[in-house]
Amino acid sequence: MGTSPAPRWSHAVVTGGAGFVGSHLCSALLAAGTAVTCVDDFSTGRRANIADLTGREGFTLYEADVSRPFGIDRPPDLVLHLASPASPADYLRLPVHTLETGSLGTRNALELAHSTGARFVLASTSEVYGDPHEHPQNERYWGNVNPIGPRSVYDEAKRFGEALTMAHASALGTDAAIVRLFNTYGPRMRGYDGRAVPTFIRQALTGAPLTVTGDGLQTRSLCYVDDTVAGILAMAAHGMRGPVNIGNPDELTMLELARRIIALTGSASEISFIERPTDDPAVRCPDITLAKDKLQWEPQVAAEEGLRRTIDWFRAHGDS
The catalytic residues are: 154
Q: Which amino acid is at 193?
A: D
Residue type, position 242, single letter? G
Contact 86, 19 (CB under 8 A): yes
Using alpha carbons, select from 260, 265, 263, 262 the residue that is nearest to residue 313.
265
244: left (phi over 0), alpha (psi -120 to 50) or beta: beta
Q: Are 38 and 22 in contact (CB under 8 A)?
A: yes
For residue 284, give the 3-state DSSP assignment: coil
By CB atoms closer than 10 A (0-12, 13-18, 19+), residue 104 is: middle
